[in-house]
Amino acid sequence: MKYIRQVVIIIIFSFIGEVLRYLLPFPIPASIYGMVLLFVALITGAIKLDWVNEVGKYLIEIMPVMFIPAGVGLMASWGVLKPVLLPVCIITVVTLVVVMVVTGRLSQRLIRTSREKRELYE
């Protein structure tokens, strides 16, 4: 029974996400609405961690395989991609690295300065 209830709750949040996606005019997918709502429900205690934990962790663990069909979809869009391949590849790789480094280094510096400050006051 435990697993059924967990599945039901997760599907309910996915469904509410879909409803919001339908009603609101933003290009935000159902999954993001559902994620934010589940997060708020957990924080406020409306949903207990035990009610979603095992099935949730299971779904997260098998998540990588869910991207295979989208990746294989590259073979279908190869025709439109081919003419702009070189600039697109360079932009993709450069942006990936730059964004990762800027986000990581900046937040790391901020975390360290605030930690040092905290230690100074203690």
Partner 1 sequence: MNEFFETSLFAGVFLSLAAYELGAFLKSKFKLGIFNPLFVSITVTIIVLLAGRIDYNVYYASAKYISWLLTPATVCLAIPLYEKWALLKNNIKAVGLGLCAGTATSLTTVFVLSLLFGLSHEEYVTLLPKSITTAIGMGISEELGGYVAITVAVIVVTGVLGNMFAELICKVFRITDPVSRGLAIGCSSHAIGTAKAMELGKTEGAMSSLAIAVSGILTVILANVYAYFL
Is residue 97 involved in binding partner 1 (CB under 8 A)? yes
Within 56-75, the residues that bind partner 1 by CB under 8 A are 56-57, 59-75
Among 19, 24, 46, 100, binds partner 1 (CB under 8 A): 100
Considering the rule CB under 8 A, would residue 108 count as an interface residue with partner 1?
Answer: yes
51 binds partner 1, rule: CB under 8 A: no
Q: How far apart are CA 112 and CA 83, in angstroms?
A: 45
Asked if 2 interacts with partner 1 (CB under 8 A), we say no
Burial of 37 (0-12, 13-18, 19+ CB in 10 A): middle
| Helix pair angle (2-23, 30-44), 10° resolution | 120
